[in-house]
Structure 1
Amino acid sequence: MTQTSTDQAATTHSRLEHFPVAFFSAVMGLMGTSLALEVAGFLRVGQIVAGFAVLVFVTQLGFYAVKAIRHPAAVAAEWNHPIKLAFFPAISISLLLGAVALRGVAPGLAEGIWVIGAVLQAVLTLAIVTSWISHRGFGVGQMSPAWFIPAVGNVIAPIAGVSLGHVDASWYFFSLGVLFWIVLLTLVFNRLVFHEPLPGKLRPTLTILIAPPAVAFVAWLQLNGGVLDAPARMFYNLGLFFTALVLLQTPGLFRLPFALSFWALSFPIAAMTIASFRYAALSGAPIFVAIGWALLALLCVIIAGLLWRTSLAVLRGEICQPE
């Protein structure tokens, strides 16, 4: 082996060690985008995006599995990190979103994927909450909206779970997700209002504030038979508020250097897009149709920008680097 080949192998080995679990949030964004496109009527385009999301997920899962085998200490370090810990459920969420995408075309496969994703989500939620309450090294300054991700995973479960016949399990996940959303919302706002601003890399995670109420709205419709009742209206309008709040913060994001955390922009906007089209169909109010289309256009711009910027970062060797 030449010196160049040896150096390249060492570089690849080093980058693999730093392959972040947070990168699975890209799959969440892509899968959410595929579902948003389908709800908007672009079924074929949505299926293509879903296929690409599956390819990305399988590739990332392979990389992370090799990392776990070769660098178990690096995985343990992520698990013990107060922010990176919250991204582990992005793996189970990706599976649950895959079940949503497949439930209409391959219900048998969708059910198998849903069961795997639900079991993994249940285990990760229990493990993460156990870590939160037993770890004495976490400070208020280490909290960010990324902590919502485990809660979001729980409220996603009913979206496919109800139609696949797992009603009781869906109620379990929904109840848990909403409870921890409320608890974490209080803690996160305390951190945002009374403590130092979020550091640059974590600023994009503010968008995650949108996801819990938007996903809860869609999940609640599955659980209550599609009725636009008071809880459904409450969830959707909370989603609207957090969307407006986050949009007011976006000008500052353009001044930040690119990081993988920018993928946090994608899934929440996709979730709110889906919620808006569903709300418009049930309410019959044209304003919500307009909101849905505006959010879909924004989502497409975000995804295109993220794919371009991530590809550029990969080519430049800017990602999977030590922090």
Structure 2
Amino acid sequence: MTANPTSAAPEAASRLQHYPITFFATTMGLGGYTLALRAATTPFGFAPWVWLVALAVTALVLVLVALGYLAKAIVHPDAVRAEWKHPVRLAFFPTVSISVLILATAALPLFPVAALWLWGIGTIMQTVLAIAVISGWISSRAFQQAHLNPAWFIPAVGNVIVPLAGAQMGYVEISYLFFSAGLIFWVILLTLVFNRLVFHDPLPARLQPTLVIMIAPPAVASVAWLRMTGQMDAFSHLLMSFGFVFAALVAVQLPRILRLPFALSFWALSFPVAALTISSLVHFEATGTRGYLWVGGALLIGLSVLILGLLGRTLLAMLRGEICQPE
């Protein structure tokens, strides 16, 4: 029995129309895993090709995801505008710039020229998207308490990622600028998000995995601070410790979250775990404290299992046609 081409074309067009901006969360997760593997190469004696393969996969997936969303923007510009106006999906647009910045950071040791270009493009994109998203929050649009969720941390996370490569390339002042912006908005949003979680209705099932995002800002910031200052100090320790505090809070919620039906939002689990893994291994490198090494190793094992599970479940969902469907 052959497929009907007249029905296949409209179905493909409909799928493209519902191609979500949240797809870029996959490239954030894969990029974070690449950085975690790179951080683990020296302390665990991994062969360099391990993280290089991960880097190649991340770059390929980013290109494919970006091409898919570009096609949507060309064919269905109204659908992109609708996502931009969506009170929840608006916060996911900086995942585009964050993915580019992570790729630049991962490529820096071996491809410095390409990394510089990617970092510059990603930094400009992050500037535009962060200002646009935050301006959207405080404009004349009416947001309700139910719209607030941990995904709103994403623009703040993007700002503290800029220094990871920027400081190593000598752009220290720019790095401090983005670091300060990320830190202040993290503090502001942390207060707002906790108020929403404690005093208002529980998050919808699809957004429950975004709770893990709370780990990312302090974990990334601890590494960024170390890259900018070149030394381990009390502030870096505090930031990393904040990450572990939020990890403990989220760990209690994980059994309930993992029982929920799969959605692309589950990729929100990956980058924060990667960020905490990297922070642990970088702190081991700076202090020599073996406790950080064992914690980082345990997190890396868990992250590897998580990434494989997410990849498998995403491919299965794509084969079943469960993705790119109207919500």
SS of equivalent residue, structure 1 residue 249: helix
Read off the aligned partner of 2:239 and give its amino acid letter. Answer: F
1:276 to 258, 277, 280: 280
CA contact 2:55–2:107 (8 Å) conserved in 1? no
SS of equivalent residue, structure 1 residue 177: helix
Read off the aligned partner of 1:63 and give its amino acid letter. Answer: G
Q: Closer, same or farther in 2 for the Cα pair 1:26/1:135, shift >3 Å?
A: farther
The corresponding residue for 1:56 is 61
Name the CA distance, whole Å, in 1 between partners of 2:88 and 2:234: 34
Read off the aligned partner of 2:28 and give its amino acid letter. Answer: M
The corresponding residue for 1:155 is 160
Name the CA distance, whole Å, in 2 between partners of 1:282 and 1:163: 16
SS of equivalent residue, structure 2 residue 4: helix
1:196-211 maps to which residues of 2 (within 5 A)? 196-211=201-216
Listed one character per residue, the Cα deviations across residues 84-111 of structure 1 (whole Å, up to 9, x for unaligned) are: 0111111101110111111111111111
TM-score between both structures, scaled by the size of structure 2: 0.96
TM-score between both structures, scaled by the size of structure 1: 0.97
The alpha carbon displacement at 1:193 in A equals: 0.6
The corresponding residue for 1:66 is 71
2:111 to 106, 125, 128: 106
The alpha carbon displacement at 1:254 in A equals: 2.3
Name the CA distance, whole Å, in 2 between partners of 1:133 and 1:92: 21
1:133 to 134, 138, 146: 138
The alpha carbon displacement at 1:3 in A equals: 7.8
1:19-38 maps to which residues of 2 (within 5 A)? 19-38=19-38
The corresponding residue for 1:40 is 40
Listed one character per residue, the Cα deviations across residues 178-228 of structure 1 (whole Å, up to 9, x for unaligned) are: 010000000000000111111100000000000000000010001111x11
Ranges in structure 2 where 5+ consecutive residues have no aligned partner: none
Q: How many residues are aligned here?
A: 321
Name the CA distance, whole Å, in 2 between partners of 1:239 and 1:279: 13
The alpha carbon displacement at 1:285 in A equals: 2.1
1:236 aligns with 2:240: yes
1:2-21 maps to which residues of 2 (within 5 A)? 4-21=4-21
Ranges in structure 1 where 5+ consecutive residues have no aligned partner: none
Percentage of pairs with the same residue: 53
Name the CA distance, whole Å, in 2 between partners of 1:131 and 1:96: 23
Name the CA distance, whole Å, in 1 between partners of 2:174 and 2:288: 32
Name the CA distance, whole Å, in 2 between partners of 1:80 and 1:171: 31
